[in-house]
Amino acid sequence: MAKDREFLNRRLHSLLGVIPVGVFLLNHLVVNNFATRGAESFNAAVNFMGNLPFLFLLELIVIFLPLVYHAVYGLYIAYTAKNNVSRFGFFRNWMFLLQRYTGVITLIFIVWHVWETRVAALFGQHVDFNMMATIFSNPAMMVFYIVGVISASFHLANGIWSFLVSWGITITPRSQQISSYVTMALFVVLSIGFVRIIFAFMDPQLANM
């Protein structure tokens, strides 16, 4: 019974990491990418998202509750996992270890980012281009955000690989190898995209280099 419950929990954890949490991350990339077009475009995109009907319920049900479950159970997995990188230096063992580390880093990053933006907005802080530019004017925060978005990109990309295996989509070694290439390419694309956005808040010309 306990094994069946753990199996279902891991399946749900894997699913929620891709849908809807992964979809939200991609949506975040698309919306914030307007920063590369200048302050006016970014502010318009943020205002559009902020004025969606039933926004609070959508964020609560579609984003925050699934994210909390994924994060809490992910911490449990990270705490109980037996990493064997020191004994077996295989690629997938390293990916397993990095998945746990980036999960913790990503959780810290998301909590801070939500506090700095969504919670601040509830207390009257206007979230716009200038606000983000002010945040990134601090070199320490710029580094923190770069590490955070790269960790989140890896965690999502490698999590998709695990999702495909867990749900029986990639069964053969060949299909798993191909999905490794695809998901690592996704990691690179996402990382570049998010870092370009950070540079856009600092200087739009940097994002277009």
Q: At a CB cut-off of 8 Å and minimum separation 6, what does 199 contact?
A: 206, 207
List the CATH code of the domain at 2-207: 1.20.1300.10
Per-residue model confidence as pLDDT tens for the chain (209 residues): 666 678 788 888 889 888 878 888 888 999 999 999 999 999 999 898 888 888 788 888 888 899 899 989 988 887 787 655 554 457 888 898 899 999 999 999 999 998 888 887 777 788 899 999 999 999 999 999 999 999 999 999 999 999 999 899 999 989 999 999 999 999 999 999 999 999 999 875 555 55
**Domain chopping of the chain, boundaries:** 2-207
Q: Virtual CA dihedral for 12, 15, 17, 21, nearest 10 degrees? A: -110
Q: How far apart are CA 28 and CA 185, in angstroms?
A: 19
Q: How far apart are CA 63 and CA 73, in angstroms?
A: 16
- Burial class of residue 12 (count of CB atoms within 10 Å of its CB; 0-12, 13-18, 19+): middle
